[in-house]
Amino acid sequence: MSLNDYYILAIETSCDETSVAVVRNGREVLSNVVSSQIDTHRQFGGVVPEIASRKHVESMTIIIEEAISVAGIGLSDIDTVAVTQGPGLVGALLVGVVAGKSLAMALDVPLIGTHHIAGHIYANHLVGDIVYPSLALVVSGGHTEIVLLESEGKFRILGRTRDDAVGEAYDKVARALQFPYPGGPYVDKLAQSASEEIVLPRSWLEPDSYDFSFSGLKSAVLAEINRSRMKGESPDFSALARGFQQSVIDVVTTKAMKAASAYGAQQVLLCGGVAANRGLRERLAGLCAEAGLPLLIPPHSLCTDNAAMIAAAADLKWRRGEFSTLDLKAEPVFSLEEWSVKD
């Protein structure tokens, strides 16, 4: 342990994972403990906010103790506490914010309220160097965005979803294909194994738009299923899964590469829970190779919600001395651009 080392303890409770991590010097993950609630919510077909909040309360102290133990340090070694301030489910966020504020006050260390999407983006910084300007394609359960990183910690949203995010669309289509929640991995696996494809529409929106819309695609899948059943036929779920996935991947990767070219990006970052999708990773890797652009993708463990990514984003504020006050509030709707570091 060097005298110059610093330790960030981060807490993530934006949805249905309770996670606490300890990260040294902003990049070295000493522990990243995640307690998932998937089994609890699966019986309801999706996340129930009130249940998620209660599960966070039940798990928080245990997860903090485990993260400290795995990291091999003591609470007295912690230099700052970071916590997801938003966006997310307000009740879930409140549990983490209260825990973070209490711990920061008890340890007499600074508190850093952190943006959840900044965390997904800077999860890439835990596995490689980010080159600026960089273009981030954010694909998660609640967010689909194209974000330009003009310089370190400076975010500019170029496009976002106008309705369902990619992850939401996957889960809704998975339900129609009779898969359990969360359905994204099942759809991806079925699409990869399919020998045929039912071609589905692509929603490009306006010619100059980087926005997304997936509600029509979801409706097209349902229409194909109903059409088959009305004819007395069994729907070809594998061909539908492949058609759905190909439509999603075509749109998000085409728009991301178009934005990267238009804004002179020197690197592309893939981030968010859907970044674990095999089809998406392979397509984007191929397009970046053709364009001669470096591509960073975190490992699966850092794609889904976790506290190590929150520490990585909080490090931007730590190194600049930009701390939060103890009247920090949970922000279910939270601007990424406003969270950017100060000039």
**φ, ψ of residue 186 in degrees (nearest 5):** -70, -45
Instruction: Calculate the dihedral angle through the C-alpha atoms of 288, 134, 148, 23, rounding to the nearest 10 degrees.
Output: 120
Residues 289 and 175 in one domain: yes
Residues 33 and 67 in one domain: yes
Give tens-digit pLDDT for 150-189.
999 999 999 999 998 888 898 899 999 989 888 888 999 9
CA distances from 21 to 33, 44, 50, 99, 212 (A): 6, 29, 24, 14, 33
Mean pLDDT per 10-residue section of the chain, whose length is 343 residues? 86 93 98 84 75 89 97 97 97 97 98 98 97 96 92 97 90 90 88 93 94 92 93 93 96 98 98 91 97 96 95 98 97 96 89
Please name every residue paired with 123 in a beta bridge, in sequence order, or none if there are none.
Answer: none
Residue 47 placed within a domain: yes
Residue 199 placed within a domain: yes
What residues contact 223, with CB distance under 8 A and at least 6 apart? none
CA distance 87 to 134: 22
Residue 288 placed within a domain: yes
Q: Look at the chain and report how many structural domains it folds into.
A: 2
Half-sphere exposure of 28 (CA within 13 A, CB side): 8
Residues 297 and 10 sit within 8 Å (Cβ to Cβ): no
Residue 201 placed within a domain: yes
Residues 292 and 251 in one domain: yes
Residue 170 placed within a domain: yes
CA distance 245 to 234: 20
Residues 291 and 307 in one domain: no
Residues 144 and 287 in one domain: yes
Residues 174 and 220 in one domain: yes
Task: Name the residue range of residue 209's domain.
Answer: 130-297
Residues 48 and 95 in one domain: yes
Give tens-digit pLDDT for 237-292.
999 999 999 999 999 999 999 999 999 999 999 999 889 899 999 999 999 999 99
Residue 1 placed within a domain: no
Residues 290 and 182 in one domain: yes
pTM of the predicted protein model: 0.94
Residues 227 and 310 in one domain: no
Q: What's the DSSP call for residue 212?
A: B
CATH of the domain at 226: 3.30.420.40
